[in-house]
Structure 1
Amino acid sequence: MEKTTKAAKPQISTVMDAYSSKIELAYHGSREDLDPYVPADHRPHNSKTSSFGALANLLKASLGSGVLAMPVAFKNAGMLVGAIGTILVGLICGHAIHILVKTSQQLCVETKKPCLGYADTCELVFQNGPRPVRKYATLIREIADWALATTHFGACCVYVVIIAESFKQISDAYGGPSWSVSLFCAVCLVVLVPLSQITKLKYLVPFSAFANFVWLGSICICLYYCLKDPPAIKDRNLATSITAIPSFISICLFAMEGIGVVMPVENEMIKPQQFLGCPGVLNIAITTIVIFYGFVGFSGYWQFGNDVSGSLTLSLPQDEILAQTAKILVACVMILSFTLIYYIPVDVVWRRLQDRIPANRQIWALSGIRLLGTLIIVSIASAVPYIELFMELVGAICLSVMGLLLPVVTETVFRWGKDVGPTSWVVWKNFILAIFALIALVSGVTYAFKSLLEKFSIL
């Protein structure tokens, strides 16, 4: 009897241990359900930004050189169509950014990651999506990365042309050398080559701070001339030909679409849940951008009409010192901003080459890539020194894909099988937005190349 009791004790103990483990597992499981993963709680504490700071960063990043191109967009569409179109494009861009950020936030919870970038979100959505699309995860990441790189590469070309045009006008006004815009583009290498060799973002902070201050001054000068004795509205077109609408959409996309900075800004927030919603950081930023861009486009076209240039400063009077000062300020801003914008395409290329280069040669290799990229940008700008053309191409090719197409595709794949299906309104809404993006892509590229051929007298 005693032996039986002793033998039963280990069995009872084993059963009790197993039962306790099940209780503990159930307890922890219930605790996980009650306390879901909160990505913001796992982000680095030394890089968190308040909601107001996130709004300021988003506005600062979005209110860039594109605002000076809005009068050209209104020239292509007309005052009435331009005003309505700016609001519609702003709503579409804002919605695309909204669904991208929302998808990223929900994906962070599901995958238990503190934050995700733009390309990371696209890739993980496809990796965890329906089985037939998982094989495209790497491809979608490549498309996202290269669309972002090409966007900033094209913006660098725009900067070089604006710098060259500005200094050419100043040179012509004050008896300087009567060089072509292409030659002034080449001269920009004297400044851009050394600046493009800056490899650490922290060294660019002083340049960025100074550029923001100078940019504000130049915008104020431009608005002064836009509102100074404007002509009668009847002298301006309220609407133009429908064939010019693709150019309007492309330039609007180039001007407004700050999607490349949205995810980094959201990832730095202390309370990322305040980024979306009403009012929300994103909604306030988009509303401010649309109003300001629409105002500058409307007043710029109202003042200068069909003579307005690709950059508003280039339309300012040639014989006034204040106007020339604005041109110099904008040129300086473009020079200082070039390095920051140029960092993105270099980073995309370098991440793909770094592991293939020996460690003792990486410094020289990176320097060579930066030099080669700068030479390519300036060469393209010198060969095709047309601001509007670059804006149309970048807006049509890159931003219609990165800013519109990829967000709606990503949301559809993420929600497919969970709360949406073939008959869901979300799918049809995203399908319409995808068609709009493809139309903007095809028509924008077509009309941009048509304009290019006309400028070179091929057509």
Structure 2
Amino acid sequence: MTKLDADNSRGRASEYSAICKARQENGDHKGAAAGGAMISLPQVHYLDGSQPLDDYNPHLHRNVETPTTNTETLIHLLKGSLGTGILAMPNAFFKAGLIVGFVGTILIGSLCTYCIHVLVRSQYQMCRQLRVPILSYPRTLELAMKQGPRVLRGFSTYAGTAVNAFLIVYQLGICCVYIVFVATNIKQVVDEYHETKLDVRLYMVMLLLPLILINWVRNLKLLAPFSSFANVITFVGLGITLYYVFDGIPSPSERNMVGHVVDLPLFIGTTLFALEAVGVIIALEYNMKNPVDFGGYCGVFNRGMVTIVFMYVFVGFVGYVKYGEAAAGSITLNLPTDQKLAQSVKIMFAIAIFITYALQCYVPLEIVWSTYIKDRLGQASSTKKLLVEYLMRTCIVIGTFLLAVAIPRLELFISLFGALCLSALGIAFPATVELCLLWPSKSYGRFYWILVKDILLIVCGILGLVIGTYVSIANIVHSFL
């Protein structure tokens, strides 16, 4: 997570600002009705690919300044998996047990992969129908719901706002996790050299000004050299971490094969947080030189996700075998506190995640600024706009800081935001898009299996959101008692 985040943040920012805004009015092109009425779109036949809609190919009309090759996209996708998510997997396996964790991670990874395929495929079909090169995720859900079942059309006006809200909350949630992660790892190192043990919240206070300053950087290109450096130390840190994991690792038979049922929502939330990155993936697909190679059984996305799921299963499995019930919210916190090599790992990850904070925060900053603030300033001077933007950036950083100070529980943060946001963004919303897109033609296949499947996915997403969020909040409350 680093240079990848810079590339992806630029891609996501362009998706939610310049591109989305430039194309948004095209939603009324080729039969799209204004005023929230049902959109009359051509019949969809993408399931078997036998009946193309017309000769318009959105891929050929995309104007990407610096498109990425298949290999570059795959590398970006893989590098994006090395962050707080993978470091939290041993704790997730502790919640689920070895067998449930192993099987559950593969199933959740497969589900996330399938739902992303559904979303990307549906976006492509809608772009063909509307004859536009790209549609943002919020705009996709909004337009799809306008042509879906009558009961959903009334909510289409709020669909884009809902997607933006979940994206903003999720990205800011990641920033909260990063603040807790950096402060906790620094505290462990400093505590070894000072008798006075400061509260982790004081370390967060020390981080506040540097976080504000790094988020005042409006051009992500300035962070690119730091991102490259962070990439290197992330890989080195993970390698050293695995060295400690395999040093004297016990037998798997000493660990639970199945965890407690009440902890399964925490496992699901943590795994979703680690595996699901819908905003990043959409940005990667959009920026590809050959986006047609993204999908398919042996496409770039599937190859990347197979590797990522394997890495998460591997780190989660061996990490839990090594540390058992002591597996912390980040495996770095389980490393020895009195060895300089282990201390260096914690400092490495703290530096890398600190840099990544600015990159992760860039997305909600861009959404809030471009969608909700910039246009309202009207004809204000450029100086006033700049001051308002810096004030907005400062307030958002302070908001994530206050939440992190209020709840400095890393593993509970990860589970909460995974369940709260990604159940909707990664599962329920993609299924809703497909269900609504096929509604006019009722092309749901034999026995309406696609309709049944999408309804089940929506139900699973809602249940994951409600149950996972409830359990995470209950555990947060319990941790203070």
- Counterpart CA distance in 2 for 1:67 and 1:59 is 12
Match of 1:345 among 339, 350, 364: 364
Asked if 1:298 corresponds to 2:317, the answer is: yes
Asked if 1:359 corresponds to 2:381, the answer is: yes
Question: How far is 1:326 from its partner?
Answer: 0.4
Give matches, 1:413-428, under 5 Å.
Answer: 413-418=436-441, 419-420=443-444, 423-428=447-452
Asked if 1:375 corresponds to 2:394, the answer is: no
The letter of the residue matching 1:443 is I
Contact 2:53 2:129 in 1 (8 A): no
Between Structure 1 and Structure 2, which shows a larger proportion of helix residues?
A: 1
- Counterpart CA distance in 1 for 2:434 and 2:195 is 55
1:253 counterpart residue number = 272
Question: How far is 1:430 from its partner?
Answer: 1.3
Q: 1:140 to 1:176 in 2, by over 3 A?
A: farther
- Counterpart CA distance in 2 for 1:57 and 1:153 is 22
Asked if 1:173 corresponds to 2:192, the answer is: yes
TM-score, normalised via structure 1 length: 0.89
1:238 counterpart residue number = 257
- String of CA shifts for 1:212-264, please: whole Å, max 9, x gaps: 11111111111111111101222211111111111100000001101111111
Question: How far is 1:60 from its partner?
Answer: 2.1
2:140 counterpart residue number = 121
- Counterpart CA distance in 2 for 1:177 and 1:203 is 38
Give matches, 1:39-438, under 5 Å.
Answer: 39-44=58-63, 46-129=65-148, 133-175=152-194, 177-351=196-370, 352-357=372-377, 358-360=380-382, 361-418=384-441, 419-420=443-444, 423-438=447-462
- String of CA shifts for 1:272-303, please: whole Å, max 9, x gaps: 11111020011111111110000000011111
Partner secondary structure for residue 88 of structure 2: helix
The letter of the residue matching 1:384 is I
Partner secondary structure for residue 47 of structure 1: coil
Unaligned 5+ residue runs, structure 1? 1-32
- Counterpart CA distance in 2 for 1:241 and 1:206 is 45
- String of CA shifts for 1:136-183, please: whole Å, max 9, x gaps: 333111111111111110000000001110111001112264210111
Contact 1:171 1:177 in 2 (8 A): no
Contact 1:87 1:290 in 2 (8 A): yes
- Counterpart CA distance in 2 for 1:65 and 1:348 is 23
Unaligned 5+ residue runs, structure 2? 1-51
Which has the greater radius of gyration? 1
Identical aligned pairs, as a percentage? 36
Match of 2:465 among 438, 441, 459: 441
Partner secondary structure for residue 155 of structure 2: helix
Contact 2:234 2:348 in 1 (8 A): yes
- Counterpart CA distance in 2 for 1:280 and 1:63 is 21
Contact 2:419 2:465 in 1 (8 A): yes
1:16 counterpart residue number = none
2:25 counterpart residue number = none
Give the count of matched residue pairs.
425
- String of CA shifts for 1:335-376, please: whole Å, max 9, x gaps: 100000011111121120111222341100010111111111
2:39 counterpart residue number = none
> How well do the aligned residues superpose, as a CA RMSD in angstroms?
1.7
The letter of the residue matching 1:441 is L
- String of CA shifts for 1:5-37, please: whole Å, max 9, x gaps: xxxxxxxxxxxxxxxxxxxxxxxxxxxx99701
